[in-house]
């Protein structure tokens, strides 16, 4: 194996591989354009000759790092891990196909979340950003837009942010859960959600309200909780201790659903038999719970592919063909839902 030889040029590689200079350039910058055999052959020559095209020299010419910045959400032990594994993998896969890589970073501190974005920009560490976990009054979209920095968001944005987002239709997901439960015979279907004013949560609650109305069922059993297992278990407990408790609970997230399962079990109720519970997100833990949790699943692969496609178009100075995409989620039915107990 040859040690890298700083004197080897792209022309040397093209000659040795018997291909054009453009083909060598593509092998490095746009490998997806080449046939697998050609790519393998050029790569083996690059490797043999120890050719090192310098990303930095290229970046200086194009003013691009070909890096997409992604600020990784901080894990919380009282919350189910978000679907980071699968999402990150899907995003990295899609980026590779477009000749980009994902550079992950963490916030400097909760108080100064924008500082970490500023550092990435100031050092040329990323050409654009992928945002997730968009919160109510998120300062990032406006901040990036004012600076003319390309970004896309997994989670819808207000029109003022110059939207480039992909989101999952939360209302449709929860409506599908209502249909499933009504089909099983439930009528007292509660919604255990976050306090109002949180866009994602309000959207999911709306799906419950309108689907209940479509079946002429009263949407009165509404609980409010933070997105932690502990708080959700307390609020679910209050709902179950009421004079006329629900026979089914749709939770705004899998974390909240785990709280509902705990509250049921603490009262001697068997989830799936005495109380049906539906979650949202289909986190990796959902299938492992006892009973396995019925949950609304997000199409992560498709979301990742679209997000990268839209961001890459923006980075190339093009308008993305679609500026916002709402994807349909799927209800995954498991053992935590069943017919209501007899006589209820």
In the DSSP assignment, the letter for residue 160 is G
H/E stretch holding 269: none
Structure tokens at 263: 């509250």
Listed ranges 146-154, 161-169, 312-320, 335-343: which one lies at the site for a second copy (CB under 8 A): 146-154
Verify binding: residue 187, a second copy, rule CB under 8 A. Answer: no
* 148 lies in the site for a second copy, by CB under 8 A: yes
Q: Residue 303: helix, strand or coil by DSSP?
A: helix
Structure tokens at 314: 């923006």
Answer yes or no whether residue 57 interacts with a second copy by CB under 8 A. Answer: yes
| 255 vs 193: CA distance, rounded Å | 11
Residue 116 CB, shortest distance to a second copy, in Å, is 8
Q: Which two tokens stand for residue 203?
A: 């959207």
Judged by CB under 8 A, the residue of 30, 118, 270, 326 near a second copy is 118
Measured from the CB atom, the residue of 101 and 209 that comes closer to a second copy is 101
Task: Name the segment binding a second copy (CB under 8 A); options: 58-66, 154-162, 317-325, 327-335.
Answer: 58-66
What is the number of other CB atoms lying within 10 angstroms of the CB of residue 15? 14
The smaller minimum CB distance to a second copy, of residues 73 and 155, is found at 73
Positions in 212-271 near a second copy (CB under 8 A):
229, 258, 265
List the one residue out of 215, 217, 209, 256 whose CA is nearest residue 237. Answer: 256
The secondary structure of residue 247, as a DSSP letter, is S
Beta strands in 85-184 (DSSP E): 101-105, 128-131, 151-154, 165-168
**Which one of 94-102, 175-183, 188-196, 309-317 is the stretch in contact with a second copy (CB under 8 A)?**
94-102
Of the candidate spans 14-22, 117-125, 205-213, 305-313, the one that interacts with a second copy by CB under 8 A turns out to be 117-125
Identify the three-state secondary structure at position 288.
helix
Contact 96, 89 (CB under 8 A): no
Q: Does 202 bind a second copy (CB under 8 A)?
A: no
Answer for which of 14, 45, 102, 248 binds a second copy (CB under 8 A) is 102
- Choosing from 22, 119, 135, 230, the residue that interacts with a second copy (CB under 8 A) is 119
Residue 273 dihedral angles phi and psi, to the nearest 5°? -115, -60
Q: Mapping DSSP to helix (H, G, I), strand (E, B) and coil, where does residue 265 land?
A: helix
Burial of 95 (0-12, 13-18, 19+ CB in 10 A): buried
The residues that touch a second copy, with contacts defined as CB under 8 A, are 1, 3-4, 28-29, 31, 40, 43, 46-47, 51-60, 63, 65, 67, 72, 74-75, 77, 80-82, 84-86, 88-89, 92-93, 96, 101-106, 108, 112, 115-116, 118-125, 146-148, 229, 258, 265, 284-285, 287-290
């Amino acid at each position: 194996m040859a040690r890298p030889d700083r004197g080897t040029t792209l022309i040397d590689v093209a000659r040795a591989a018997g291909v054009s200079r453009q083909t060598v350039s593509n092998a490095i910058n746009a490998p997806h354009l080449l046939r697998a055999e050609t790519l393998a052959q050029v790569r083996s020559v690059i490797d043999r000759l120890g050719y090192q095209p310098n990303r930095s020299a290229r970046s200086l010419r194009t003013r691009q790092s070909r890096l997409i910045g992604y600020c990784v959400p901080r894990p919380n032990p009282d919350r189910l891990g978000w679907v980071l594994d699968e999402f990150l993998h899907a995003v990295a896969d899609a980026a590779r196909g477009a000749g980009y890589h994902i550079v992950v970073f963490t916030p400097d501190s909760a108080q100064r979340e924008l500082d970490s974005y500023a550092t990435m920009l100031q050092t040329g560490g990323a050409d654009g950003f992928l945002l997730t976990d968009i919160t109510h009054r998120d300062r990032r979209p406006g901040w990036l837009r004012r600076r003319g920095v390309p970004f896309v968001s997994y989670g819808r944005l207000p029109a003022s942010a110059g939207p480039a987002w992909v989101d999952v239709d939360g209302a449709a997901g929860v409506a599908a859960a209502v249909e499933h439960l009504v089909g099983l015979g439930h009528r007292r279907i509660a919604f255990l959600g976050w306090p109002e004013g949180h866009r994602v949560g309000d959207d999911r609650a709306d799906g419950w309200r309108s689907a209940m109305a479509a079946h002429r069922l009263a949407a009165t059993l509404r609980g409010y909780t933070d997105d932690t297992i502990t708080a959700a278990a307390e609020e679910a407990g209050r709902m179950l201790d009421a004079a006329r408790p629900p026979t089914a609970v749709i939770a705004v997230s899998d974390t909240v659903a785990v709280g509902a399962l705990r509250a049921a079990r603490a009262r001697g109720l068997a989830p799936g038999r005495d109380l049906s519970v539906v979650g949202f997100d289909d986190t990796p833990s959902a299938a492992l719970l006892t009973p396995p949790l019925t949950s609304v699943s997000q199409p992560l692969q498709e979301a990742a592919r679209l997000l990268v496609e839209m961001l890459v178009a923006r980075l190339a100075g093009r308008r993305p063909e679609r500026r916002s995409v709402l994807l349909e989620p799927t209800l995954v039915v498991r053992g935590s839902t069943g017919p209501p107990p007899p006589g209820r």
